[in-house]
Amino acid sequence: KQWYQRRVREVVGSATLAVEYKFIHTAANRGRIEDVIVHPDHQGRQFGKVLLDLLILLAESTNCYKLSLDCNEKAKPFYDKLNMDFVEDHRFMCIKFFD
Protein backbone atom coordinates (compact mmCIF):
# COMPACT_ATOMS: atom_id res chain seq x y z
CA LYS A 1 0.00 0.00 0.00
CA GLN A 2 2.83 2.40 0.72
CA TRP A 3 4.21 1.93 -2.84
CA TYR A 4 0.78 2.65 -4.32
CA GLN A 5 0.32 5.85 -2.31
CA ARG A 6 3.71 7.15 -3.42
CA ARG A 7 3.05 6.39 -7.09
CA VAL A 8 -0.40 8.04 -7.12
CA ARG A 9 1.22 11.42 -6.44
CA GLU A 10 3.66 11.14 -9.32
CA VAL A 11 2.82 12.81 -12.63
CA VAL A 12 4.03 10.51 -15.41
CA GLY A 13 2.77 12.46 -18.42
CA SER A 14 0.84 15.42 -19.70
CA ALA A 15 -0.61 16.82 -22.92
CA THR A 16 -2.76 19.80 -23.84
CA LEU A 17 -5.59 20.18 -26.35
CA ALA A 18 -6.20 23.78 -27.38
CA VAL A 19 -9.42 24.38 -29.33
CA GLU A 20 -9.95 27.60 -31.24
CA TYR A 21 -12.59 29.03 -33.55
CA LYS A 22 -11.39 29.56 -37.11
CA PHE A 23 -13.47 32.25 -38.76
CA ILE A 24 -12.14 31.34 -42.21
CA HIS A 25 -13.89 27.98 -41.67
CA THR A 26 -17.23 29.50 -40.61
CA ALA A 27 -16.15 29.59 -36.94
CA ALA A 28 -15.48 25.86 -36.92
CA ASN A 29 -13.37 24.33 -34.16
CA ARG A 30 -9.71 23.61 -34.84
CA GLY A 31 -7.70 21.56 -32.38
CA ARG A 32 -4.00 21.79 -31.61
CA ILE A 33 -2.10 19.34 -29.42
CA GLU A 34 0.65 20.94 -27.37
CA ASP A 35 3.10 20.09 -24.59
CA VAL A 36 3.10 16.30 -24.95
CA ILE A 37 5.51 14.85 -22.41
CA VAL A 38 6.03 11.55 -20.61
CA HIS A 39 8.56 11.17 -17.80
CA PRO A 40 11.63 9.28 -19.09
CA ASP A 41 11.17 6.56 -16.45
CA HIS A 42 7.74 5.79 -17.92
CA GLN A 43 8.37 6.09 -21.66
CA GLY A 44 7.68 2.99 -23.73
CA ARG A 45 4.76 1.98 -21.51
CA GLN A 46 1.97 3.43 -23.72
CA PHE A 47 1.28 6.51 -21.54
CA GLY A 48 1.89 8.86 -24.49
CA LYS A 49 -0.40 6.82 -26.72
CA VAL A 50 -3.17 6.89 -24.12
CA LEU A 51 -2.83 10.67 -23.74
CA LEU A 52 -2.95 11.22 -27.51
CA ASP A 53 -5.83 8.78 -28.04
CA LEU A 54 -7.80 10.70 -25.42
CA LEU A 55 -7.05 14.08 -27.00
CA ILE A 56 -8.01 12.75 -30.46
CA LEU A 57 -11.35 11.51 -29.08
CA LEU A 58 -11.88 14.84 -27.32
CA ALA A 59 -11.15 16.77 -30.52
CA GLU A 60 -13.61 14.62 -32.47
CA SER A 61 -16.28 15.03 -29.78
CA THR A 62 -15.93 18.82 -29.90
CA ASN A 63 -16.38 18.73 -33.70
CA CYS A 64 -12.89 19.90 -34.60
CA TYR A 65 -12.50 19.96 -38.38
CA LYS A 66 -8.75 19.50 -37.96
CA LEU A 67 -6.29 18.47 -35.25
CA SER A 68 -2.58 19.21 -35.53
CA LEU A 69 0.65 19.39 -33.57
CA ASP A 70 4.16 20.61 -34.18
CA CYS A 71 6.56 17.72 -34.61
CA ASN A 72 10.29 17.16 -34.86
CA GLU A 73 11.83 14.34 -36.89
CA LYS A 74 12.64 12.28 -33.79
CA ALA A 75 8.99 12.18 -32.69
CA LYS A 76 7.51 11.57 -36.16
CA PRO A 77 7.42 7.72 -35.92
CA PHE A 78 5.39 7.95 -32.70
CA TYR A 79 2.74 10.17 -34.33
CA ASP A 80 2.76 8.06 -37.50
CA LYS A 81 1.44 5.16 -35.41
CA LEU A 82 -1.57 7.32 -34.49
CA ASN A 83 -2.48 7.73 -38.20
CA MET A 84 -1.42 11.36 -38.27
CA ASP A 85 -0.15 12.66 -41.61
CA PHE A 86 3.07 14.64 -41.82
CA VAL A 87 2.49 17.90 -43.69
CA GLU A 88 5.87 18.38 -45.36
CA ASP A 89 5.82 22.10 -46.02
CA HIS A 90 4.64 22.95 -42.49
CA ARG A 91 6.46 20.33 -40.35
CA PHE A 92 3.42 19.39 -38.33
CA MET A 93 1.29 16.30 -37.96
CA CYS A 94 -2.40 16.48 -38.77
CA ILE A 95 -5.66 14.55 -38.68
CA LYS A 96 -8.56 16.00 -40.65
CA PHE A 97 -11.97 14.83 -39.44
CA PHE A 98 -13.76 16.72 -42.26
CA ASP A 99 -13.14 19.69 -44.60
Helix, strand, coil % in the chain, rounded to nearest 5: 35, 35, 30
Could you tell me which residues come within 8 angstroms of residue 37 by beta carbon, excluding any fewer than 6 positions away? 13, 14, 15
Whether the pLDDT of residue 1 is over 50: the answer is no
Residue 16, strand partner residues: 34
Instruction: Give the pLDDT confidence of 34-90 residue by residue, as tens digits.
Output: 999 999 999 899 999 999 999 999 999 999 999 988 887 788 888 888 888 777 666
Note the pTM of the prediction, 2 decimals.
0.76
Residue 53: CB partners within 8 Å, gap ≥ 6?
82
d(CA 61, CA 55): 10
